[in-house]
């Protein structure tokens, strides 16, 4: 069967500043954490050892062109542009980002620019990070500077990538700095992130900038173990906490009332100030980026909560391993292609069918060198992964879902947080020792798919 996509469909990939650029003038939380605890990073590889996009941007963009990208998402590093987060703008960073944007446009590739991809300037974290409203104001200033510097050429802006992840990693589950485990502080970080998003949207609108502004959310459908009311309630609460806590504010301009009521009943609501609700209502977006990797399988708790235990989301649900599930053993994630369709249908039916696109979808594999054939990685598993997701994406579009594109994570094998280079995700293989780039079989397949605006699949 041939799967054809709409005209002007966005074919491309996604990346981030911190994971690709290399060393910068301003220290981030990742630089600081690595300097303190390098043992927390796979093979002791930190954020300085990236795919050197800062030096190789021109040849890398030529590779994007070779892969027939018509669009590409990356981010601006707040710490590179404004090293202390609030002070002087770094002119070298302005030059660099101008060059990248101009070269993308010269190659016929539309830049999608994200403002925050987990790279908090350490100077901002030292005064409390997203727990401090001064950092919200600093971020709003940074966003406005970006709009003024680059908005004449950038028509697709995103305020945050996966804002739930710093909440989970930094304040619930200890896999991001500052390694706090405290739900109330996590809720404050999430709430202030929504305020920061809304401040950036308000600044964008006030500046009458061309184009559109959105956010990128990692949406993880919550599937109940059964239709038993207890399992359904568990899945609903998981959805409230991990999806709708950001999805509702940015699409509806308000929080779900049942989430507010739940947190209030456990005395976990963050502190609000006069005018917050009006600000959040101004944060409604033009375009939603959807990162989809895995489903969340949920069941009701089988055991009582220890009344002396700290409040956590898992008070309300347990994870459930579905029998027969398909897994990516290297990342430990379930592969469930229909989830991408379910997300789109939910947006169509419950959120007025917003303009959206798949901003990330990907498969990380360890030790890919073992699949080299005639000098090229034969990653047929990645082609199968992409094409199966695209089949379900095509089904959603054919049923009226307003999805405008598909971006793969990622263009080139890059540094990936605590996993460093353990799992490779790229269309392009990176040799860390020589920095040589080699297109994988999946890159050739994607280039043909983008060129044909579709593909054949049984």
Q: By C-alpha distance, which of 384, 390, 368 is closest to 440? A: 368
Rounded CA separation 260/268 (Å): 9
Report the distance separating Cα 75 and Cα 215, nearest Å.
12
Distance, CA of 385 to CA of 450 (rounded, Å): 16
Q: Which of 21, 103, 131, 162 is catalytic?
A: 162
Cα 94 versus chain centre, distance: 24
Q: Tell me if 446 sits within 8 A of 67, measured CB to CB.
A: yes
348 vs 357: CA distance, rounded Å: 13
Active site (annotated) includes residue 254: no
Taken in order 77, 81, 83, 85, the sign of the CA dihedral is negative
Collapsing DSSP to helix, strand or coil, 121 comes out as: strand
Residues near 434 by beta carbon (within 8 Å), at least 6 away in sequence: none
The Cα 13–Cα 449 span in angstroms is 13
- Report helix, strand or coil for 2: strand
Q: Where are the beta strands (DSSP E) in 45-168?
A: 71-75, 110-114, 156-161
Among residues 72, 141, 140, the alpha carbon closest in space to that of 105 is found at: 72
Active site residue 360: yes
Structure tokens at 250: 């940015």
Contact 409, 360 (CB under 8 A): yes
Cβ atoms of 215 and 197 closer than 8 Å: yes
Label residues 191-206 b or e (16+ Cβ within 10 Å = b).
bbbbbbbbbbbbbbee
Secondary structure letter of residue 177 according to DSSP? T
Helix%, strand%, coil% for the chain, nearest 5:
45, 20, 40
Distance CA 125, CA 103 (A): 33
Marked catalytic residue, from 103, 131, 199, 360: 360
Cβ(285)–Cβ(351) under 8 Å?
no
> Tokens 């727990």, residue?
131
CB-based contact 167:108 (threshold 8 Å): no
- DSSP 8-class letter at 240: I
Q: Which residues pair with 373 in a beta bridge?
A: 376
Q: Which two tokens stand for residue 310?
A: 């700290």
For the annotated catalytic residues, the residue numbers are 162, 360
């Amino acid at each position: 069967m041939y799967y054809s996509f709409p005209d002007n469909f966005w074919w491309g990939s996604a990346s981030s500043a911190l994971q690709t650029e290399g060393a910068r003038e301003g220290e981030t939380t990742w630089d600081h954490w690595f300097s303190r605890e390098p043992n927390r990073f796979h093979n002791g590889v930190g954020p300085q050892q990236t795919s050197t996009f800062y030096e190789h941007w021109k040849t890398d963009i030529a590779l994007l062109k070779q892969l027939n990208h018509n669009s590409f998402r990356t981010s601006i590093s707040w710490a590179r542009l404004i090293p202390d987060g609030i002070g002087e703008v770094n002119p070298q960073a302005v030059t660099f980002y101008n060059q990248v944007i101009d070269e993308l446009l010269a190659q016929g590739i539309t830049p999608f620019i994200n403002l925050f991809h987990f790279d908090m300037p350490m100077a901002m974290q030292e005064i409390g990070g997203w727990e401090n409203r001064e950092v919200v104001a600093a971020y709003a200033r940074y966003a406005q500077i970006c709009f003024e510097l680059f908005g004449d050429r950038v028509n697709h802006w995103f305020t945050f990538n996966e804002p739930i992840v710093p909440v989970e990693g930094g304040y619930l589950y200890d896999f991001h700095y500052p390694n706090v485990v405290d739900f109330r502080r996590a809720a404050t970080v999430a709430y202030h992130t929504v305020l920061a998003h809304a401040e950036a949207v308000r600044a964008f609108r006030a500046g009458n900038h061309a184009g559109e502004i959105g956010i990128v959310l990692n949406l993880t459908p919550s599937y109940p173990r059964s239709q038993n009311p207890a399992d359904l309630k568990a899945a609903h609460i998981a959805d409230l906490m991990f999806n709708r806590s950001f999805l509702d504010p940015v699409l509806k301009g308000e929080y779900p009332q049942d989430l507010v009521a739940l947190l209030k009943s456990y005395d976990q609501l963050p502190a609000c100030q006069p005018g917050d609700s009006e600000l959040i209502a101004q944060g409604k977006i033009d375009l939603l980026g959807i990162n989809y990797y895995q489903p969340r399988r949920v069941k009701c708790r089988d055991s009582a909560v220890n009344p002396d235990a700290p409040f956590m989301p898992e008070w309300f649900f347990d994870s459930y391993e579905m029998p027969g599930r398909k897994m990516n053993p290297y990342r430990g994630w379930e592969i469930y292609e229909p989830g991408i369709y379910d997300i789109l249908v939910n947006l169509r039916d419950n959120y007025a069918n917003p303009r959206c696109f798949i901003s990330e979808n990907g498969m990380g594999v360890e030790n890919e060198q073992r699949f080299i054939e005639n000098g090229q990685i034969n990653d047929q598993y990645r082609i199968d992964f992409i094409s199966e997701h695209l089949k379900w994406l095509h089904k959603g579009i054919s049923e009226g879902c307003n999805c405008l594109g598909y971006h793969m994570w990622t263009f080139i094998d890059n540094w990936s947080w605590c996993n460093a280079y353990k799992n490779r995700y790229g269309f392009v293989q990176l040799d860390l020792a020589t920095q040589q780039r080699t297109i994988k079989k999946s890159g050739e397949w994607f280039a043909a798919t983008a060129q044909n605006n579709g593909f054949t699949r049984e």
